[in-house]
Amino acid sequence: MNVLMVTSECAPFVKTGGLADVVGALPGALAPLGLDVRVMLPAYPGLFPLLPQGEEVARFDDLPGGPGRLVQVQAQGLVLLLLDAPQLYDRAGKPYTGPDGRDWADNHLRFGALAQAAARICFDGLPGWKPEVLHAHDWQAGLAPVYLKQAGRAVPKSVLTIHNIAFQGRFGPQVLGELGLRDDWFHADGLEYYGDLSFLKAGLVYADAVTTVSPTYAREILTPEFGMGLEGVLQARAADLSGILNGIDTGAWNPSADEALARTFDAKTLARKAENRAEIAARLGLERGEGPLFCVISRLTGQKGLDTLAEAIPHLVAEGAQLALLGSGEPALEEAYTRAAQQFPGRVGVQIGYDEAFSHLLQGGSDAILIPSRFEPCGLTQLYGLRYGTLPVVARTGGLADTVIDANAAALAVGVATGFVLDSVSRQGIEAGISRTCAAYADRKLWQGMQRAAMRQPVGWETSARAYADLYATLQA
């Protein structure tokens, strides 16, 4: 079966979050099941070096925002379809924001063009290849199912995956014409969202199936607390909505062969993690410590509960633990953690910025990873933590709740506990979780048992790739 994935990010080429990891790894997991997946994404400047190695497979004269061409190229085990439209994508800055940190003013064109190019490929095919399923990811690809339906064709079927419902791609109604969308579909049961066009909502209405990245988040987004205004639309699609847990790329994230580590290790050589901890300590100026080293690897936003975690730092230090944080995002949070590092020198170390290699080292050398998210569609860092014997301390929400087994008495008794689930994302809740983690850490036998259980937990793509393949097959039937 031929599957066209449409996305604005794909690891390792362009990444701002978990979406990139998923799109970068899922095609490789689907290949052994007999699926031929190609990944369409914008040719941002970071991808320009690939263009000369590729082959032009399509030209478009009149996409939203001007002409474009599609270049197919193989890289890192993926078949990429790069939409080369320099007037939309050849700019310094990030995928969604300019150097001033503000959204690009023409994001509706940048991602409308991507969606429309995808739909045209579905109709016309490429030399020797025609999509049988279109799989769109997040709001940036949300219009692709709409363009398919608008053309009145029943094939191919489309799937839209929600990686984070907080981002909805909302634009004023004046963009409708520029995007070639039908006026008579601009109503509450169609493209319209409270007077605006919402790319995500439109996709949710017109896709044949909707998925999100964990079973718990699939249930949560049906409620006002988590649905971010789209709960009604989702309830109407509930029969076509499912949650398929993300996996991780177990090749890129393998503690026994990870080149970013000071020392590789496996479940039988856990003591070697200490060498990675020493390397982290040297980089962040941490003292030698008897207590556990907690880490945070995250976008610094309210979603992640890190404002509340900052309040619990004095408690963490008083418990004899240390904290290493790698992240970037909201200035107020960057400042709060920079201040905490100054306030507790040797105990709290902070690196502001994005650093892929250091994120691996932190997973390799920390004892626990803190993820007190207010909502978390799936979450990847707890899965990396499990694989590296770095026990997750997580909020009871979304994919965190689906992947971490709390160290309660019953789970410990049968040896399946893999982490610590917080009762609430409040200062008290986080402090209690930190205390429980420190107490467990002091019992070396119990801790190592949990680490081994964590490292045994399957976190690869096998199960979920099969679930996607089954979904595609159902749609085709």
Q: What is the 3-state secondary structure (H, E, C) of 301-331?
A: CHHHCHHHHHHCHHHHHHCCCEEEEEEEECH
Residue 64 or 305 having the CB closest to ligand ADP: 305
Is residue 196 within 8 Å of residue 463, measured between CB atoms? no
DSSP state, residue 104: P
Distances (CA, A) of 70 to 47, 81, 411: 13, 6, 52
Residue 117 or 380 having the CB closest to ligand ADP: 380
Question: Could you tell me the smallest distance in angstroms from the CB atom of residue 23 to ligand ADP?
Answer: 12
What does the alpha-carbon distance between residue 73 and residue 130 come to, in Å, rounded to a whole number? Answer: 16
Is residue 347 within 8 Å of residue 285, measured between CB atoms? no
Distances (CA, A) of 287 to 263, 297, 352, 444: 20, 20, 20, 21
What does the alpha-carbon distance between residue 98 and residue 170 come to, in Å, rounded to a whole number? Answer: 18
Question: Could you tell me the smallest distance in angstroms from the CB atom of residue 297 to ligand ADP?
Answer: 5
Residue 156 or 389 having the CB closest to ligand ADP: 389
Q: Which two tokens stand for residue 392?
A: 């997750």
Question: Could you tell me the smallest distance in angstroms from the CB atom of residue 50 to ligand ADP?
Answer: 22
For residues 334-358, one letter each, b for 16 or more C-beta atoms within 10 angstroms of the residue's C-beta and e for the rest, the string is bebbeebbeebeebbbbbbeebeeb
Question: Could you tell me the smallest distance in angstroms from the CB atom of residue 40 to ligand ADP?
Answer: 20
Residue 240 or 307 having the CB closest to ligand ADP: 307
The SS3 of residue 395 is coil
What does the alpha-carbon distance between residue 390 and residue 371 come to, in Å, rounded to a whole number? Answer: 12
Residue 150 or 328 having the CB closest to ligand ADP: 328
Residue 328 or 448 having the CB closest to ligand ADP: 328
Question: Could you tell me the smallest distance in angstroms from the CB atom of residue 259 to ligand ADP?
Answer: 16
Site residues, ligand ADP (CB under 6 A)? 17-18, 21, 297-299, 326-328, 354-356, 359, 378-381
Question: Could you tell me the smallest distance in angstroms from the CB atom of residue 475 to ligand ADP?
Answer: 26
* 15 carries a ligand binding annotation: yes
E strand or H helix at 389: none
Binding site as annotated, residues for ADP-alpha-D-glucose: 15
Binding residues: 15
